[in-house]
Structure formats: structure tokens, C-alpha cells
Amino acid sequence: MEIVIGIDIGGTKTKIGLVDKNGKCLVKTFFRTKEFPDLDTYLDKIRSTSEELIENLGKKVTVLGCGIGAPNASSKRGTIENASNLLWKGSVPILEKLKERMDMPMRIMNDASAAALGEMLFGRGRNMTDFIVVTLGTGFGAGIVANGQLIDGYDGFAGELGHVDMTIGDGRLTGLGVRGGLEAYVSATGLKRTIMYMLSKYIVDSRFKDVAYNDLHGEDITKAAEEGDIIAIKAFDYTAKIMALALANFTAFTQPEAFILMGGLVNSGKWIKEPLDKYFNEYLLDVYKGKVKLLESGMDGKTAAICGAAALIWEDKK
């Protein structure tokens, strides 16, 4: 059996899995990224974890390579550049150092772009030539496919749409220090900040009145909306309105057939999707109305990032 090692490097967790040619993650695991502040020790952990997964699979396999999705990853340089949510700072030559430990074909790419490649090979994008994947987690990421090709950019950093300056309200800072940037509003973190903003704006009863920011969780906000909490409902509406404006603007770049949404914020269901649909169609230029779909990912949410990373290698084998 031929498999690819898929690695998703996140600020909180590093997820590793073995992925077959159909995009099925056969086995997976994770460890906490921040427990390895030393890069060499971290890369040793990746190697040993990958070896354990292959051994535990219990089948004879041929490893075709290793694909890695990571924040601020340059596919052209094989580096991670100044990622705000990782402990290793500056330009980190992660591909070069990992190849010293794992002798196999290897590619790295920005995690959202890797997710777009995964959708193109294994998910909703299989029959599309033009779409944009939007990842809504701690931040806001985007991977762009146009004319059947992933838009990687001159230096491998295309698709940083979460740091587009929306010049909104109080001008919140994104993780890269962009004031008024999109991800400061449209993300799991942005939603929490919006709850606090709504509490300061409206004098109404809410379960969040006595809740500290660090004790806020997305699931609690969704549950509150389901119970009729006005602050939660207004926060989702505010978030959806900003996101809709951004997606309507992005439509003019490449005229995608669809935006494919993935990540924790999408799990809020109708509270984010219904206002998003409404505002998106309002903001679209007439020439685009009725032509752009808002879809959820076609990959399993628990393994989508791993499969997206693995797609970096499987792409060359299709």
C-alpha cells in the first residue's frame, strides 16, 4: 500500500497522519507543539511519531513522501517565516532540517493553501477550476484556486486574506499586527472579542455579563445563541456581516465558483451561515449574484488539515 505522511503544524497541536491515494486518513495522532520549544527536539518528535504510526498501521506500506501545512510557510524556500503563533522565530529552515531526519520527498506550504489543494484532490473542489478555501479557526486563512491551479504566489505567501485591512470600527490588530485586519473580526478569536464589544454596546441580560474573556469558548457562544441570548446572536450577525463584505470583495479577484468554508467557526451552524448568506448576496456585485456558492468542506473536519498536507505529495502522483 502506498501512503503519504501528512503533517499539520499548529500553534497548539501538531497533527500527523498517514493518508492513502483516496484522501483517507488511515491513522492519526497529535502532540502539543509548545511542549517542544527547541526546534531540533521538535523535529525528532515528528520523526519518531511518524515511525510509530507506520509501525502501528500493521501493514506493509511504501511511503511516497511527506507533506506539511504550517502557518507562514513558504513553499518556495521550505521555511516558516515569523509565524506569530509558533515559538520558533525568524526564518525557520524546517524542510532542510526535517529532510536530515526523514529521507523522502517532502513539501511544505501555508496551511490554508494546503487545505485548498486537499479540497481540489479529495473534497468539494474536485470538479471545480475556480474556488477559494477559507479556514476559520484561531485566525482567518485562505487558499485560492484559479483556472485549475493553486495560486501560490511569487514567494509562496499568496492568500493571506486574513490580514487585509478592513478599516473596521476600533481597528483591532491581527496576529501580524495589521490594524483593522479581517481575522481580528472573523475567526474564533474575533468572535470572542466581539462578544466583549457587544456587552459594552448593549445593556441587556446575557450569560456573558460575568464571564472573563479567557473563559469564553465558541461552543458556549453557539449554545447561548440557541437559548436566545441577544449578545450572542448580535455577535454572530456582526461577524457574518464583516465576513460577507470581505468575501464579496474577494469574489472580484478571481470570480470563484464557490467559497469552501472549514474550521471551528463553521461549526456554529445557522447562527453564522444564515446571516452570512443574507449579507453576502446583498454585497455581491450584480454581475456575480447567484453565481457564487458558500459551501462547507468536503473533507472530514478532524483530518482535513492532515489530508490537505498530504495532498502536496499526492498531487504529483495523480
CA-closest candidate to residue 88, choices 22, 43, 130? 43
Q: What are the angstrom distances between the C-alpha of 74 and each of 8, 77, 113, 133, 306?
A: 14, 5, 11, 18, 18
Q: Which helix (H) or strand (E) holds 282?
A: helix 270-283
Per-residue pLDDT at 168 exceeds 70: no
pLDDT above 70 as % of the chain: 99
Query: What is the separation of C-alpha 11 from the centre of its chain, rounded to a whole number of angstroms?
Result: 12
What cell does 6 get? 501528512
Instruction: Enumerate the β-bridge partners of residue 31.
Output: 14
pLDDT at residue 292, rounded to an integer: 97
Q: Which letter does DSSP use for residue 102 in this model?
A: S
Q: Please count the helices (runs of H) and the strands (runs of E) in the chain.
A: 8, 13
Q: pLDDT higher for 318 or 208?
A: 208
Contact 28, 7 (CB under 8 A): no
Determine the average pLDDT of the residues in 109-129. Answer: 94
Q: What are the angstrom distances between the C-alpha of 59 and each of 17, 18, 25, 56?
A: 15, 12, 14, 8
Residues 144-161 pLDDT 10s: 999 999 999 988 889 889
* Residues 6+ positions from 212 with CB-CB distance below 8 Å: none
CA-closest candidate to residue 46, choices 306, 301, 302? 306
Query: Helices 188-201 and 230-254, interaxial angle, to 10°?
Result: 130
In angstroms, the CA 138 to CA 313 distance is: 26
Q: Which band of pLDDT confidence, cut at 50, 70 and 90, is reported for residue 169?
A: low
Q: Rg for the chain (alpha carbons), in Å?
A: 20
Residues 296-316 pLDDT 10s: 998 887 899 999 999 999 998
pLDDT at residue 236, rounded to an integer: 98
Residues 203-258 pLDDT 10s: 999 999 999 999 998 899 999 999 999 999 999 999 999 999 999 999 999 999 99
